[in-house]
């Protein structure tokens, strides 16, 4: 495994307990609600990529009991945290760059907080692969932070992700933006982080980039 991803794994193992403890946070519920309202298939196949709290899984499975959930995590601890909350989900240890190895298509693909650890060309390849893995009119739920280096203490401090970069990339690969949320995470009145949430729909024809 590349040394950068070994460091990524160590960080996500350390954060897995925090994610499990925060599984009852409702700060993302508005975006989850919009996602559910945008479904065309009420028994969707959902793929979660990258480390993210299990509250999304809980919310979607409560609203859509017939949903089929799969989770792919680099950290086995993070995957176990999700499985702890949702018993009927399938989990797999893998890096999000390996999504092309997964079988089948999905109505929804959710990408968590792994994007800051990817090079620009890897992000482009990931979103292009997600396009091909989505069913017709499928949905992408994407979460990232523009100032993530301060909170997560990334090994590559120089890399920042701008909204413009993500917006342009979605347009390039053929994903149409439906909604952009700014989600503020505060504790006792102190801002901890601002999360960017994008929900996009697959267009009929993949664009070339």
Answer whether residue 208 is part of any domain: no
pLDDT beyond 60 at 150: no
| Distance separating alpha carbons of residues 74 and 50, to the nearest angstrom | 7
> Residues 6-29: pLDDT tens digits?
555 555 555 545 544 444 568 889
Domain presence at residue 209: no
Which pLDDT band holds residue 205 (cuts at 50, 70, 90)? Answer: low
| DSSP, res 75 | -
Does some domain include residue 116? yes
Q: How many domains does the chain have?
A: 1
Whole-angstrom distance between the N-terminal and C-terminal Cα of the chain? Answer: 29
44-58, 103-117, 128-142: the lowest-pLDDT one: 44-58
% of the chain with per-residue pLDDT over 70: 62
Q: Is the pLDDT of residue 32 over 90?
A: yes
114 or 154, which is more confident? 114
Q: Is residue 164 part of a domain?
A: yes
The pLDDT, as a whole number, for residue 209 is: 43
Mean residue pLDDT across the chain: 76
Determine the average pLDDT of the residues in 75-88.
51
Burial class of residue 178 in the structure, from the number of CB atoms within 10 Å of its CB (0-12 exposed, 13-18 middle, 19+ buried): middle
Give the pLDDT confidence score for residue 186 in this predicted structure.
Answer: 72
- Which residue segment(s) compose the domain that 169 sits in? 3-202
Predicted confidence band at 175 (pLDDT cuts at 50, 70, 90)? very high
Flag whether 70 is in a domain.
yes
Give the CATH number of the domain where residue 56 resides.
Answer: 3.40.50.150
Residue 207 domain-assigned (yes or no): no
Residue 142 has pLDDT above 70, yes or no: yes
Measured between alpha carbons, how far is residue 130 from residues 30, 40, 101, 138, 197 in Å? Answer: 23, 18, 11, 10, 16
Is there a domain that residue 29 lies in? yes
pLDDT of 185: 76
The residues near 190 (Cβ < 8 Å, ≥ 6 apart) are: none
């Amino acid at each position: 495994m590349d040394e950068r991803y070994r460091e990524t794994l160590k960080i996500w193992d350390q954060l897995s307990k925090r994610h499990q403890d925060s599984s009852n946070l409702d700060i993302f519920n508005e975006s989850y609600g919009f996602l559910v309202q945008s479904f065309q298939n009420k028994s969707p196949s959902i793929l979660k990529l990258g480390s993210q709290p299990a509250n999304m899984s809980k919310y979607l499975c409560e609203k859509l009991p017939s949903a089929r959930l799969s989770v792919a995590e680099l950290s086995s601890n993070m995957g176990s945290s999700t499985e702890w909350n949702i018993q009927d989900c399938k989990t797999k240890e893998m890096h999000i760059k390996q999504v092309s190895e997964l079988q089948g298509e999905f109505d929804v693909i959710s990408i968590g907080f792994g994007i800051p650890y990817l090079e620009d060309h890897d992000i482009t390849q990931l979103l292009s692969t997600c396009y091909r893995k989505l069913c017709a009119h499928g949905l992408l739920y994407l979460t990232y932070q523009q100032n993530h280096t301060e909170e997560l203490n990334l090994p590559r401090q120089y890399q920042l992700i701008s909204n413009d970069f993500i917006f342009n990339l979605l347009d390039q690969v053929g994903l149409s933006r439906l909604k952009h949320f700014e989600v503020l995470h505060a504790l006792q009145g102190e801002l901890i982080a601002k999360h960017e949430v994008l929900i996009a729909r697959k267009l009929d024809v993949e664009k070339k980039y």
